[in-house]
Amino acid sequence: MAQGAHGKGAVTNTLWDRTRQLAAQEILRTALRLFTQQGYDETTIAQIAREAGVSQRTLFRYFGTKEDLVGGSEEQFVTLLTETVRQQPEGTSIWDTMRAAFRAALSLHATQQEALERLRLVHHTDSLRAAYLSKRVRCQEELLPLLEAKQVSSVLSRGQVRAIVATAFACFDAATTTWLEDNGQGDLLDLYDQGLAAARG
């Protein structure tokens, strides 16, 4: 009897989770459509909520700020990258570890089209661009001690590790800019690999 109740509860939780996920996706789709059509700064939370068919209070349960509708929350971004770094096998190079972190960051987008829309907004909206750069600086500092600790031998100094991380982020930003200029053609990580190869010479 207890086992059956537990099973029923598990199904209920799954359906609840799916309902929440669908609601969040609808809010996000609506927000991205409005941001693209009329501009990020010109679109209000009230308008997004109204067109998505939810209250503003409900919207803020899923997305803490208007900015989170585009770039995701800072905590989510930093946590995802740091956890990805921690999960890399021992002996993985810093360069390969950073690539895995960027791949994980791209997984935050449900589709390539969504990635294109969100990244385009970030790169062409001053306030979002500034927020991204702040997030990136914090993330680099959070990753630094993790990457230092994962070195098999203490060959690289902290300054050298910091330079590698900064170079990797710069190459990812350059790849993203090129990808946006080409309207999402090609694979963003391939562009990153090409830029990194050129930077490493």
Residue 35 CA to residue 118 CA, distance in Å, equals 9
Helices (H), 39-153: 45-52, 56-62, 68-71, 74-87, 94-106, 112-124, 126-149
Residue extent(s) of CATH 1.10.10.60 domains in the chain:
1-65
CATH of domain 67-201: 1.10.357.10
Q: pLDDT digits over 4-59, tens only?
A: 444 444 444 676 666 777 888 889 889 999 999 999 999 999 999 999 999 999 99
In the chain, residues under CATH classification 1.10.357.10 are: 67-201
Q: CB-based contacts of 106: which residues, under 8 Å, 6+ apart?
A: 115, 188, 189
Each residue of 170-200: pLDDT tens digit?
A: 999 999 999 999 999 999 999 999 999 999 9
This prediction has a pTM of 0.80
Which of 1.10.10.10, 1.10.10.60, 3.40.50.150, 2.60.40.10 would CATH assign to domain 1-65?
1.10.10.60
